[in-house]
Chains A and B, each alone.
Chain A
Amino acid sequence: MVHSARVLALPNPKIPAPTRQTALHPLVPKPVSVFSRVVRLGISVATQVAPPVLTIALLLLLWQMLASSPTSALPSPLKVIDDSWEIIVDPFKVGNGIDQGLFWHVSASLIRVGYGYILAAIVGIGFGVLLGQSTLAMRGLDPVFQVLRTIPPLAWLPLSLAAFRDGQPSAIFVIFITSVWPILINTSVGIRNIPQDYRNVAKVLRLSPIEFFTRIMVPATVPHMFTGLRIGIGLSWLAIVAAEMLIGGVGIGFFIWDAWNSSLISDIIVALVYVGVVGFLLDRSIAAIGHLLTRGTAAQ
């Protein structure tokens, strides 16, 4: 201790960090050299990154070979880049009407999804708690919900257009009605699955309804809730593209439809890459939030 204190008291900026560390911890085996540490890091990164990069490269190559004949109906990757260079390099373009950069199309879609999904989360969790807690509510509402949830999202669109007389709220409603069911059903299942033991503990402790909700019901149900929320966000993103094709305006769905009408097949492919990546990120972010909130709950 005295030795290390002395070393700490006399810092010598000329001595590089690894050397000082060696002096402080004489019992620790000689640290691995920087070189071999870099090599090890390199290997671990390579084994993580190489397989997906390789797969993508192979798929692109295959695509290039299949689509490079002059009679091919679909463009090859190189042709896509060539055709759509403008929209690839300028996603933030601001133009007139629907002539916007892809970033703005995607954000318009995301805003619609955001409204519909947040509404669905509130309503879904609310009704899920009701159905989970009350057998009477379950008996009354469950048959109705079971029928409603099988209706395909787009089938709601004409009805909501008739009701709202506007594309924007109709699209939001379609997102809402698509994503509310998995959230609702998973939440209610989660609440029904709260072990009787936990309820008994709450009773013996005489927890108030609010305490029961925050201390037991929420933590016990959060894993199920997030299963529903994750399915919900996936379905929302599926539905928004189709809904936007029909309602028009700025949005990635209508962008794709518009490109098809203008025979800009390369633009469609670029848009699909955006749709895929955004959908993936949405799924991952909900999963990450869920993972953060369910620490210690998932493992029992």
Chain B
Amino acid sequence: MAYLKIDHVGISFQRAGATTEVLRDVNLSIEKGEYVSIIGHSGCGKSTVLNIVAGLLPPSQGGVLLEGRAVEGPGPDRAVVFQNHSLLPWLTVRENVELAVNKVFRGRKSKAERRDWTRHNLELVHMAHAENKRPHEISGGMKQRVGIARALAMEPKILLLDEPFGALDALTRAHLQDQVMEIHSRLGNTIIMITHDVDEAVLLSDRIVMMTNGPAATIGEDMHVALERPRRRLELVGNSTYNDARAAVLEFLYARHRAPTLAA
């Protein structure tokens, strides 16, 4: 039995009388501790997959099983890091994480333990120094780190990253990717990451799930990335496994499944 199982999931949206089938027959099994990336062209429904796993969208067909139990609605066992950080601007960095910690661990941890746990998670993403700042006072990369701390602080069974580095500049993005890899190696989290960045997918993932274009998108290919961990981006430049994986994803995205607008 897989840790997380996406079982024959399909979803259709109705708008103005017309029905659009966004996903059809998506099947995916993820083992505990695996880092899985879902990659595809924009609009293919990859974020929809994540939202279904998060429970924010109910699937029209099929379902999601986490540790053998059906996912019904959102919950802190499937913490989401949203693309645009979605920190609450009226709360400080610490209060944002605390909101999650207090909600999840009330009754299980004492007040002091909860405070330590908040602090610990901020330290994990190297943001403890800014705990009293408000989101508008820190940079985009810092906000995303706080978003990650908030998600980690819920001690989720699975961490869902929705294009977490998409809105960041290249240098900040690389820095955050390294931090996420480090956290993953330390804590062994199970992670699903949505991305459209081929290098990011190859560098971070154990498996890359490639999606076909919509409508009725589904999984086109599921590729294992056989690279040793820890991975260092500089050492991978000439690595043939890395380059082969990269080439395979590029070939899938740009030769076999070009973006609809480009294919025309």
Say yes or no for B86: interface residue by CB 8 A criterion.
yes
Q: Please, which residues of chain A bring their CB within 8 A of the CB of B55?
A: 203
Contact B103 A296 (CB under 8 A): no
Task: Convert A209-226 into 0s and 1s, putting 1 for each residue whose CB lies closer than 8 angstroms to a CB of B.
Answer: 001000110011000000
Say yes or no for A206: interface residue by CB 8 A criterion.
yes
Q: Please, which residues of chain A bring their CB within 8 A of the CB of B136?
A: 299-300
Q: How far is the CA of A150 from the CA of B88 in the complex (A)?
A: 36
A299-B136, A300-B89 known; A200+B75 contact, CB < 8 A: no
Contact A296 B134 (CB under 8 A): yes
Contact B78 A204 (CB under 8 A): yes
Q: How far is the CA of A268 from the CA of B212 in the complex (A)?
A: 78
Question: Which residue in A200, A207, A296 is a CB contact (below 8 Å) of B90?
Answer: A296
Contact A198 B76 (CB under 8 A): no
Number of A-B residue pairs with CB-CB distance less than 8 Å in the complex they form: 57
Min CB distance B98 to A, Å, is: 11
A219-B90, A299-B136 known; A200+B82 contact, CB < 8 A: yes
Min CB distance B158 to A, Å, is: 12
Q: Please, which residues of chain B bring their CB within 8 A of the CB of A207?
A: 103
Min CB distance B229 to A, Å, is: 28
Contact A203 B74 (CB under 8 A): yes
Which among B73, B78, B86 has the greatest number of chain A C-beta atoms within 10 A? Answer: B86
Say yes or no for A195: interface residue by CB 8 A criterion.
yes
Task: Convert A270-300 into 0s and 1s, putting 1 for each residue whose CB lies closer than 8 angstroms to a CB of B.
Answer: 0000000000000000000000000011011
Contact A204 B88 (CB under 8 A): no
Say yes or no for B84: interface residue by CB 8 A criterion.
yes
Task: Summarize B's interface: helix, strand, loop or mixed.
Answer: loop
Say yes or no for B99: interface residue by CB 8 A criterion.
yes
Contact B90 A206 (CB under 8 A): no
Contact B86 A206 (CB under 8 A): no
Say yes or no for A201: interface residue by CB 8 A criterion.
yes
Min CB distance A226 to B, Å, is: 14
Say yes or no for B125: interface residue by CB 8 A criterion.
no
Q: How far is the CA of A195 from the CA of B90 in the complex (A)?
A: 14
Q: Please, which residues of chain B bring their CB within 8 A of the CB of A300?
A: 89, 135-136
Q: Please, which residues of chain A bring their CB within 8 A of the CB of B79?
A: 204
Say yes or no for B100: interface residue by CB 8 A criterion.
yes
Task: Convert B127-158 into 0s and 1s, putting 1 for each residue whose CB lies closer than 8 angstroms to a CB of A.
Answer: 00000001110000000000000000010000
Say yes or no for B64: interface residue by CB 8 A criterion.
no
Say yes or no for B54: interface residue by CB 8 A criterion.
yes
Min CB distance A195 to B, Å, is: 7
Say yes or no for A205: interface residue by CB 8 A criterion.
yes
Q: Please, which residues of chain A bring their CB within 8 A of the CB of B78?
A: 204
Contact B103 A198 (CB under 8 A): no
Interface size on A, residues (CB 8 A): 19
Q: Please, which residues of chain A bring their CB within 8 A of the CB of B54?
A: 200, 204
Contact A198 B75 (CB under 8 A): no
Q: How far is the CA of A201 from the CA of B80 in the complex (A)?
A: 8
Contact B90 A205 (CB under 8 A): no
Q: How far is the CA of A206 from the CA of B100 in the complex (A)?
A: 10
Which among A197, A204, A211, A297 has the greatest number of chain B C-beta atoms within 10 A? Answer: A204
Say yes or no for B104: interface residue by CB 8 A criterion.
yes
Q: How far is the CA of A205 from the CA of B74 in the complex (A)?
A: 8
Min CB distance B106 to A, Å, is: 11
Task: Convert B59-86 into 0s and 1s, putting 1 for each residue whose CB lies closer than 8 angstroms to a CB of A.
Answer: 0000000000000011110111010101
Task: Convert B83-120 into 0s and 1s, putting 1 for each residue whose CB lies closer than 8 angstroms to a CB of A.
Answer: 01010111100000001100110000000000000000
Contact A200 B56 (CB under 8 A): yes
A215-B99, A296-B134, A300-B136 known; A204+B89 contact, CB < 8 A: no
Q: Please, which residues of chain A bring their CB within 8 A of the CB of B90?
A: 219-220, 296-297
Task: Convert A47-82 into 0s and 1s, putting 1 for each residue whose CB lies closer than 8 angstroms to a CB of B.
Answer: 000000000000000000000000000000000000
Contact B76 A206 (CB under 8 A): yes
Min CB distance B181 to A, Å, is: 24
Q: Please, which residues of chain A bring their CB within 8 A of the CB of B134?
A: 296, 299
Min CB distance A135 to B, Å, is: 15
Q: How far is the CA of A225 from the CA of B137 in the complex (A)?
A: 24
Contact A205 B104 (CB under 8 A): yes
Q: Please, which residues of chain B bring their CB within 8 A of the CB of A211?
A: 103
Q: How far is the CA of A297 from the CA of B92 in the complex (A)?
A: 11
- Residues of B with Cβ closer than 8 Å to A? 54-56, 73-76, 78-80, 82, 84, 86, 88-91, 99-100, 103-104, 134-136, 154
- 26 residue pairs from A and B, CB less than 8 Å apart: A195-B86, A200-B74, A200-B86, A201-B82, A201-B88, A203-B56, A203-B74, A204-B78, A204-B79, A204-B80, A205-B100, A205-B104, A205-B154, A207-B103, A211-B103, A215-B88, A216-B88, A296-B89, A296-B90, A296-B91, A296-B134, A297-B89, A299-B134, A299-B136, A300-B89, A300-B136
Given contacts A201-B88, A203-B74, 12 further A-B contacts (CB under 8 A): A198-B86, A204-B74, A204-B76, A205-B100, A206-B76, A216-B88, A219-B90, A296-B89, A296-B90, A299-B134, A300-B89, A300-B136
Closest 7 CB pairs of A and B: A197-B86, A203-B74, A219-B90, A297-B90, A300-B89, A204-B74, A205-B103
